[in-house]
Amino acid sequence: MSVFSVDHLRVRFGGVQAVRGVSFGVESGRTLAIVGESGSGKSASLLGATGLLPGSASVEGNVLHRGQEILGLPDRDLRRLRGPQIGFVFQDPLSNLHPLKTIGDQIGEAISVHQRITRRQKHERVLALLDDVGIADPQARFSDYPRHLSGGMRQRVMIAIAIALDPGLIIADEPTTALDVTVQAAILDLLKRLQEEHGTALIFVSHDLAVVSDIADDVVVMRDGLVVEQAPADDIYLRPRQDYTRELLGAARLGGPKSYAVQRDRQATRPLLDVQAVARSFASRPVLDDVSFTIGEAEILGLVGESGSGKSTIGRLIAGLDRPNAGRISLKGRDYSQPGSGGVLPGDLRRSIQVVFQDPYASLNPRRRIEAILADPFVIHGTVDKAELREKVKQLVTDVELSHDVLERLPSQLSGGQRQRVAIARAIALRPSLIVADEPVSALDITTQAKVIRLLARLRDKLGVSFLFISHDLGVIGELCDRVIVLEKGQIVEVGQTQQVFERPAHAYTRRLLASIPGRKRPPAEAELEDVIYG
Amino acid sequence: MVKQFSSVVLRSISTLVIVLILSFFITRIAYRNPAAMLAPRNATQESIDAVARALRLDDPWYLQLWYYLFRGPDIQGAPMGLMHWPPALGYSFRKQAPVTDLILAKAPVTLSLAIGALVIWMTIAIFSGVAAARWQGRLIDHVLAFFAYVGLSVPTFLSGILISYFLFFQLSNQGIHWFPSSGYVPLSEDPLQWARHLALPWATLAIAEIGLFQRMVRASMLDVLGHDFIRTARAKGVPEGRVYFSHALKSALNPILTLGGLELAAIMGGAIVTETIFGLDGVGRMAIAAALEGDFPVVIGTTIFAASAFITTTLAVDLVAQWRDPANRN
């Protein structure tokens, strides 16, 4: 008998039917992966089934927990299930943990709201849980706040909350999406280990077939609120029956990049950007140490490293948003960033160096229409004629392969991929020679990632612009970048042609990063799959 | 930490000095001929001049400021000078007493009034604001909004008089003497009488503030309730009451604390209307009386008292906010 199953589940938000009748189930000790793009209804169906959606959502169908119908149960009864019977792990552990409560309190509460225990017992059980999820020195971490922990540690805390009462089912909603590749691998291992030890049923939601490839027993592929394909994992990965599953498989980088960027030795050309012996520290904590590299004309240079390795600091220094403590940075032989205080980039250099940030939700002003956002660069740098402005903005939108009707919309009316295209359009508006792209696809679905990456490659070919492409994900880097720099703790540990670094990594750290790419146990399916998406 | 603390102290002191100098000059401009206001009504020019000379009011302004700040002539044996210990805020010509003593005598009334009202309005506003947020859009939300806006829009002089009329006058007519009409009994003398005498003024002040704060609590709560960590709490099986009061309210409190501090300070600076209606002899009434009578040392003194109240409460709010912020822990 299934631990948890839904049958003909439908979820509606106002006039929007988010889930249109889905059925799936999971048994003890098994892992069900639900895969689909954002908006496919995968989270909505699980949250709806467990009563965690706001009251404005209406949920219909059947939800069985150990054979008992739980849909429509009063709040009080549902509350008794959540925690002791069903544990939850959500996507972003920072926003999902209470910022003003210590992690010890938050884990302890998961126990004390369901069981009467003394403070001392609670304290001990929390310490045991912290130890169980692999947090070193639990006693010292007990009274830390979430902001004191790294992303991976926070997600371990979330998992500790989920397993606190040893539930029979854990629902993990994109639990590794916001994390570094290496941390993701560790969290996946942890979930798998806990599941094996406790015989828990696991429902794992993800947008990426590669992430779930090592742990899924069964896979449900969802799209537009419907189940597209539902099969044991082997069938999904080896014998996908639906086109959409093939498309998802095509976008998933199982165990490494599908293909490498076409090798062109762009470095040989005159270097565009020259970074010499740059160092930066914040409050006597060194972040970067003796970093030197160059970027050639029309070259895409990948910069890879984990959170805290200093890669975003390099991006900020090159973009002229910060100054180094030592060393210098020059563009076309012109120094512009030296040690010292104050001073933004001179106007002409600002035009030449543009930035695309990670979060397309945060980097666009939510109250301004796309047309106004895209007109800004031209207005700031001199164009005032209305008709001319409109033409230029339209051209930009065409350049990033969006339709003209987005101009009238607000950022909130666009999808994540569309927003990131707008951010890219804003960056290329003034025909810069270099764009610093800081994790530009990390917040996007895997299928959208593939599309944005191809857009960047085409823009490079068309406009001859160079990119510094910052990412924690080697898979993305491999498909796009000509060369790659590997950064560890503020120091460059490896530089080289992308394919060479991937196939013959020289440094142990690089090898560790490569080994963390999910899906290595599932060799990429047959080559023609790529044509579906790369055609 | 020490550096931070000393910079805060320095900033507070410089604010006070600026307030003092500004109020000193304003009284100089407002009261052209203080000696004439102080002298008896039918005084001759000579006796007015004599008053001016005795109080050194004929000296140039910088000397007068010097006397005020450091050491002026002792008046009736009372020293003058802020930098002196204990600091003396001058001498009231009308009341024939040192201003410091006058303020210290009235401060407990004002403080009791302000802090009591704060406790009442915060308690009611938080509970009703949380209720309005929890049942957003339902009948109770609309009812609470109605009362909030009524309370907000009725001016204190009206609500004070209505409260006095119904809860004192009409009740007394029925033979029920729950609330006295006016007066003040110190807390140390008789806590029950203290509360009885202050109940109506507290209610008057609280009515206006509850409206404002209930709306703020509601808005702040609704904002926080959309956050992911609220869903986490529910996913843990935390009961709804605890989700609202322990999880959501904890995050929603910062803007409410900030405004609460400012409103508290404003009332300490003088809840003049309320003090007048209920015959409370507080700092606000004294300030108004002094301003009308030209008793400028009292005017300056009460201004400094109000400014200190502002500085102290904002400082306290800052400290609480910092203490709540995990960035400053560990």
ipTM, 2 decimals? 0.83
Do A82 and B235 make contact, defined as CB atoms within 8 angstroms?
yes
> Per the domain annotation, does A236 fall within a domain?
no
**Shared-domain flag, residues A196 and A290:** no
* B78: region left, alpha or beta (phi > 0 left; psi from -120 to 50 alpha): beta
For chain A, the farthest-separated pair of C-alpha atoms sits apart, in whole angstroms, at 72
A110 touches chain B (CB under 8 A): yes
Contact A509, A488 (CB under 8 A): yes
Do B238 and A113 make contact, defined as CB atoms within 8 angstroms?
yes
A chain contacts of residue B324, beta-carbon cutoff 8 Å = 100
* A514: region left, alpha or beta (phi > 0 left; psi from -120 to 50 alpha): alpha
**What letter would DSSP give residue A18?**
E
**Shared-domain flag, residues A291 and A157:** no
Rounded Cα distance between A299 and A88, Å, is 44
Do A98 and B240 make contact, defined as CB atoms within 8 angstroms?
no
Contact A483, A469 (CB under 8 A): no
Do A79 and B233 make contact, defined as CB atoms within 8 angstroms?
no
Q: What is the pLDDT of residue A46?
A: 94
Dihedral sign (CA B301, B306, B309, B310): negative
- The CA dihedral of A150, A154, A159, A160, to the nearest 10 degrees, is 100
N- to C-terminal Cα separation, chain B: 13
Tell me the shortest Cα–Cα distance from A293 to chain B, in angstroms: 35
**Can you give the residue range of the structural domain that contains A121?**
97-165
Question: Which whole-number Å values give the CA distances from A189 to A175, A193, A197, A305, in the listed order?
Answer: 12, 6, 12, 21
Listed residue (A280, A266, A277) closest to A330, CA to CA:
A277
- The CA dihedral of A99, A102, A105, A106, to the nearest 10 degrees, is 40
Rounded Cα distance between A488 and A484, Å, is 13
Q: What is the pLDDT of residue A529?
A: 44
Q: What is the pLDDT of residue A300?
A: 93
Rounded Cα distance between B221 and B130, Å, is 7
Do B247 and A98 make contact, defined as CB atoms within 8 angstroms?
yes
User: To probe the interface with A, which of B138, B222, B223, B232 has the most A CB atoms within 10 Å?
Assistant: B232
**Shared-domain flag, residues A81 and A107:** no
- The CA dihedral of A315, A320, A325, A327, to the nearest 10 degrees, is 80
Q: What is the CA radius of gyration of chain B?
A: 24
Do B250 and A100 make contact, defined as CB atoms within 8 angstroms?
yes
A83 touches chain B (CB under 8 A): yes
Number of cross-chain residue pairs from A and B with Cβ atoms under 8 Å apart: 77
Phi, psi angles (nearest 5°) of residue A289: -140, 115
B chain contacts of residue A144, beta-carbon cutoff 8 Å = 330
Do B326 and A83 make contact, defined as CB atoms within 8 angstroms?
no
Do B327 and A95 make contact, defined as CB atoms within 8 angstroms?
no
**Shared-domain flag, residues A348 and A419:** yes
**Shared-domain flag, residues A332 and A417:** yes
B chain contacts of residue A81, beta-carbon cutoff 8 Å = 237
> Per the domain annotation, does A107 fall within a domain?
yes
Do B229 and A98 make contact, defined as CB atoms within 8 angstroms?
yes
A chain contacts of residue B235, beta-carbon cutoff 8 Å = 50, 52, 82-83, 87-88, 90
Phi, psi angles (nearest 5°) of residue A14: 55, -120
- The structural domain count of chain A equals 3
Tell me the shortest Cα–Cα distance from A100 to chain B, in angstroms: 6
* B24: region left, alpha or beta (phi > 0 left; psi from -120 to 50 alpha): alpha
> Per the domain annotation, does A337 fall within a domain?
yes
**Shared-domain flag, residues A434 and A450:** yes
Do B228 and A158 make contact, defined as CB atoms within 8 angstroms?
no
- Polymer length of chain B: 330
Q: Which of A97, A100, A145 sits opposite B232 (nearest CB)?
A: A97
A139 touches chain B (CB under 8 A): no
| Angle formed by the axes of helices A446-463 and A416-428, nearest 10° | 20
Helices vs strands, H then E, count in chain B: 15, 2
Question: Which whole-number Å values give the CA distances from A335 to A314, A320, A349, A427, in the listed order?
Answer: 16, 11, 10, 22
Residues of chain B with a CB closer than 8 angstroms to some CB in chain A: 227-229, 231-240, 242, 247, 250-251, 324, 326-327, 329-330
Tell me the shortest Cα–Cα distance from B9 to chain A, in angstroms: 25
> Per the domain annotation, does A28 fall within a domain?
yes
Question: Which whole-number Å values give the CA distances from A422 to A20, A406, A477, in the listed order?
Answer: 31, 9, 21
Tell me the shortest Cα–Cα distance from A171 to chain B, in angstroms: 10
- Under DSSP, is residue A325 helix (H, G, I), strand (E, B) or coil? coil
**Shared-domain flag, residues A159 and A172:** no
Which residues make Cβ contacts (< 8 Å) with residue B161, sequence separation at least 6? Answer: B277
Which residues make Cβ contacts (< 8 Å) with residue A362, sequence separation at least 6? Answer: none
Listed residue (B154, B155, B149) closest to B132, CA to CA:
B149
Mind listing the pLDDT tens digit for each residue in B84-94? Answer: 777 778 788 77
B chain contacts of residue A88, beta-carbon cutoff 8 Å = 232, 235-236
Rounded Cα distance between B236 and A101, Å, is 15
Instruction: Please identify, among A206, A227, A248, the residue that sits at the C-terminal boundary of a domain.
Output: A227
A73 touches chain B (CB under 8 A): no
A361 touches chain B (CB under 8 A): no
Q: Which helix (H) or strand (E) holds B47?
A: helix B45-54
* A261: region left, alpha or beta (phi > 0 left; psi from -120 to 50 alpha): beta
Do B232 and A109 make contact, defined as CB atoms within 8 angstroms?
no
**Shared-domain flag, residues A22 and A139:** no
Q: Which helix (H) or strand (E) holds A9?
A: strand A4-13
**Shared-domain flag, residues A158 and A182:** no
Instruction: Please identify, among A121, A146, A165, the residue that sits at the C-terminal boundary of a domain.
Output: A165
Cα-to-chain-centroid distance, residue A341: 34
User: To probe the interface with A, which of B234, B243, B250, B253 has the most A CB atoms within 10 Å?
Assistant: B234
Surface of A (280-299) touching B: CB under 8 A = none
Do A88 and B239 make contact, defined as CB atoms within 8 angstroms?
no
Q: Which of A88, A109, A147 sits opposite B326 (nearest CB)?
A: A147
Tell me the shortest Cα–Cα distance from A252 to chain B, in angstroms: 28
- Under DSSP, is residue A44 helix (H, G, I), strand (E, B) or coil? helix
CATH code: domain of residue A220: 3.40.50.300
Helix extents (H) in B135-190: 139-153, 156-163, 171-173
Q: What is the pLDDT of residue A222?
A: 95
> Per the domain annotation, does A319 fall within a domain?
yes
* A173: region left, alpha or beta (phi > 0 left; psi from -120 to 50 alpha): beta
Rounded Cα distance between A465 and A353, Å, is 10
Listed residue (B131, B329, B144, B116) closest to B204, CA to CA:
B116
Q: Which helix (H) or strand (E) holds A295?
A: strand A285-296
User: Which neighbouring-strand residues pair with A326?
Assistant: A279
User: To probe the interface with A, which of B222, B236, B245, B246 has the most A CB atoms within 10 Å?
Assistant: B236
Do B232 and A90 make contact, defined as CB atoms within 8 angstroms?
yes
Question: Which whole-number Å values give the CA distances from B237 to A78, A247, A475, B251, in the listed order?
Answer: 8, 38, 39, 19
Least confident of A179-193, B50-64, B106-120, B151-165: B50-64
Rounded Cα distance between B282 and B105, Å, is 9
> Per the domain annotation, does A253 fall within a domain?
no
Give the tokens for residue A309: 């390795």
Q: Which of A97, A113, A145 sits opposite B329 (nearest CB)?
A: A145
Rounded Cα distance between A244 and A35, Å, is 11
Q: How confident is the model at residue B1 (pLDDT cuts 50, 70, 90)?
A: low
Is 70 exceeded by the pLDDT of residue B322?
Answer: yes
Which residues make Cβ contacts (< 8 Å) with residue A369, sequence separation at least 6? Answer: A407, A408, A409, A410
Rounded Cα distance between A256 and A259, Å, is 9
> Per the domain annotation, does A66 fall within a domain?
yes
**Shared-domain flag, residues A287 and A338:** yes
| Positions in chain A whose pLDDT score sits under 70 | 262-269, 340-345, 523-535
Do A158 and B232 make contact, defined as CB atoms within 8 angstroms?
yes
Rounded Cα distance between A472 and A180, Å, is 6
Q: What is the pLDDT of residue A119?
A: 94
Question: Which whole-number Å values give the CA distances from B142 to A405, A502, B129, B207, B216, in the listed order?
Answer: 40, 63, 12, 17, 15
**Shared-domain flag, residues A381 and A426:** yes
- B144/B189: higher pLDDT: B144
Q: CA-nearest residue of chain B to A161?
A: B236
- Under DSSP, is residue B317 helix (H, G, I), strand (E, B) or coil? helix
B chain contacts of residue A90, beta-carbon cutoff 8 Å = 228, 231-232, 235
Mind listing the pLDDT tens digit for each residue in B87-134? Answer: 778 788 778 888 888 999 999 999 999 999 999 999 999 999 999 999
Q: CA-nearest residue of chain A to B239?
A: A79
B chain contacts of residue A87, beta-carbon cutoff 8 Å = 235
> Per the domain annotation, does A130 fall within a domain?
yes
Q: What is the pLDDT of residue A341?
A: 59
- Polymer length of chain A: 535
Question: Which whole-number Å values give the CA distances from B273 to A55, A417, B206, B288, in the listed order?
Answer: 46, 59, 13, 10
B chain contacts of residue A113, beta-carbon cutoff 8 Å = 236-239, 242
Is 60 exceeded by the pLDDT of residue B302?
Answer: yes
Q: What is the pLDDT of residue A535?
A: 34
Q: CA-nearest residue of chain A to B330?
A: A144
**Shared-domain flag, residues A217 and A297:** no
A99 touches chain B (CB under 8 A): yes
β-pairing, A31-35 vs A201-206, is parallel
Do B228 and A92 make contact, defined as CB atoms within 8 angstroms?
yes
A115 touches chain B (CB under 8 A): no
Do B236 and A90 make contact, defined as CB atoms within 8 angstroms?
no
Give the residue-averaged pLDDT of B18-32.
85
Cα-to-chain-centroid distance, residue A7: 31
Q: Which of A47, A95, A110 sits opposite B236 (nearest CB)?
A: A110
Quickly list DSSP for A428-484. HTT--SEEEEESTTTTS-HHHHHHHHHHHHHHHHHH--EEEEEES-HHHHHHH-SEE
Do A147 and B327 make contact, defined as CB atoms within 8 angstroms?
yes
